[in-house]
């Protein structure tokens, strides 16, 4: 009897967010809400590594310095009263490229076609982003995705010896969590104070392995660093399609391609520099194909992604049929 925990009938379409699904950085609604010059903010972020290095700090995590700078803006009153609730609500103002979010649903419907529906195939969409998870969860795309990896802020920071202080661990009016990982209403309304979780361009690969092994589905039973044979993993890499926009996604492109997954790069329609960038990635063999970030039905990018989903589905069906043939012996027949 097989001991494999998963039937391997899931196709994972994994997306970057900024510049892949959106023409602008997701934080634009945040800057607009507070009347902050977004271009100035990003110039400040880009200069922070030089600022710190001039003061003797050689190792700076530049990918996520913007999170610290957001907190600096909170402390100095530029983002006064910024809460996780506000980030979630501002997510509804994020604008997407043409064809989204409808395209997510169209791709998810492919397993309902023949012959796939007889084999219980499913398509799962995931977002792995260095952006703000709460804003993604509040956006129009959220209802179409299975999971989101992104950066998180926390709203309470306990002080030293807080475990020894009974008043520090009392409920203090916070209601019980309805589900693990769901913030209480009170916590959502508190001003953010610290960074709770970080995704950078390198640790994106961890999220991909969590999807691969099924850690995201069974986190208590399947540690991401546990050894699991390929045939026992929930989503094999050759059942994955990773879609992103540029050089910052090279670590994930490399991992997915190395394990026979599919990679696709997009660029903003009409952007010559963006085209040159993804063309370079193609020449370097880092991606399988590229196209404009236009997901309208019958356009190149939507057609190509749908084609690859169907090709992966065809291979799964073929594998399942071969398995059935091997498992079922020939029926008895009359001897002449």
Over residues 243-255, the pLDDT tens digits come to 999 888 999 999 9
CA–CA separation, 18 and 21 (whole Å): 6
Q: What angle do CA 72, 135, 253 make, to 5 degrees?
A: 95
pLDDT given at position 336: 60
**Residue 139: band (very low, low, confident or very high) from pLDDT cuts 50, 70, 90:** very high
Q: 140: Cβ–Cβ under 8 A, 6 or more apart, which residues? A: 92, 94, 96, 100, 101
Residue 163 has pLDDT above 70, yes or no: yes
> What is the average pLDDT value for the chain, to the nearest integer?
90
Q: 129: Cβ–Cβ under 8 A, 6 or more apart, which residues? A: 16, 17, 18, 26, 136, 148, 149, 150, 199
Proportion of the chain above pLDDT 90, given as a percent: 73
Give the model confidence (pLDDT) of 240-291 as tens digits.
Answer: 999 999 888 999 999 999 999 999 999 999 999 999 999 999 999 999 999 9
Sign of CA dihedral 68, 72, 77, 81: positive
CA–CA separation, 127 and 150 (whole Å): 8
Residue spans per domain, the chain: 10-327
Distances (CA, A) of 78 to 68, 105, 273: 14, 38, 33
**Residue 1: band (very low, low, confident or very high) from pLDDT cuts 50, 70, 90:** very low
Residue 307 has pLDDT above 60, yes or no: yes
CA 192 to chain CA centroid, nearest Å: 22
Give the model confidence (pLDDT) of 189-219 as tens digits.
Answer: 899 999 999 999 999 999 999 999 999 998 8
pLDDT given at position 182: 58
Written as six digits, the tokens of 42 are 């990003």
**Residue 61: band (very low, low, confident or very high) from pLDDT cuts 50, 70, 90:** confident
Instruction: Name the residue with higher pLDDT: 228 or 171.
Output: 228
| Strand ranges in 72-164 using DSSP code E only, listed in sequence order | 122-132, 147-154
Written as six digits, the tokens of 323 are 């398995």
Written as six digits, the tokens of 163 are 């475990």
Residue 141 has pLDDT above 50, yes or no: yes
Lowest mean pLDDT across 4-18, 183-197, 263-277, 303-317 = 183-197
pLDDT given at position 247: 80
pLDDT given at position 157: 87
CA–CA separation, 92 and 315 (whole Å): 38
Architecture of domain 10-327: 3-Layer(aba) Sandwich (3.40)
Place of tokens 């990635």: 281
CA–CA separation, 52 and 45 (whole Å): 11
């Amino acid at each position: 009897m097989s001991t494999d925990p998963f039937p391997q009938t899931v196709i994972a379409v994994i997306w970057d967010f900024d510049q892949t699904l959106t023409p602008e950085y997701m934080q634009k609604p945040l800057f607009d809400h507070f009347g902050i010059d977004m271009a100035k903010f990003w110039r400040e972020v880009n200069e922070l590594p030089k600022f710190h290095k001039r003061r003797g700090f050689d190792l700076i995590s530049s990918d996520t310095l913007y999170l610290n700078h957001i907190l600096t803006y909170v402390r100095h009153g530029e983002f006064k009263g910024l809460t996780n609730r506000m980030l979630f609500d501002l997510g509804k103002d994020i604008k997407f490229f043409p064809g989204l979010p409808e395209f997510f649903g169209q791709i998810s419907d492919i397993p309902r076609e023949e012959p796939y529906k007889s084999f219980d195939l499913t398509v799962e969409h995931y977002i792995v982003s260095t952006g703000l998870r709460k804003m993604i969860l509040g956006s129009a795309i959220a209802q179409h995705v299975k999971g989101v990896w992104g950066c998180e802020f926390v709203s309470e920071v306990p002080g030293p010896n807080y475990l020894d202080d009974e008043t520090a661990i009392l409920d203090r009016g916070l209601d019980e969590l309805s589900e693990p990982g769901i913030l209480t209403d009170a916590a959502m309304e508190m001003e953010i104070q610290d960074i709770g979780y970080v995704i950078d361009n390198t640790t994106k690969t961890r999220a991909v392995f969590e999807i691969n092994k099924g850690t995201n589905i069974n986190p208590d039973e399947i540690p991401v660093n546990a050894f699991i044979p390929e045939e026992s993993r929930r989503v094999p890499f050759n059942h994955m399609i990773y879609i992103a926009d540029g050089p910052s996604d090279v670590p994930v492109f490399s991992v997915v391609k190395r394990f026979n997954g599919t990679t696709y790069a997009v660029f903003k329609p009409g952007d010559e520099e963006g085209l040159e960038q993804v063309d370079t990635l193609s020449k370097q063999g880092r991606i399988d194909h590229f196209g404009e970030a236009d997901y309208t039905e019958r356009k190149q990018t939507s057609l190509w992604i749908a084609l690859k989903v169907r090709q992966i589905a065809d291979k799964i069906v073929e594998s399942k049929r071969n398995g059935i043939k091997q498992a079922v012996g020939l029926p008895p027949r009359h001897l002449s």
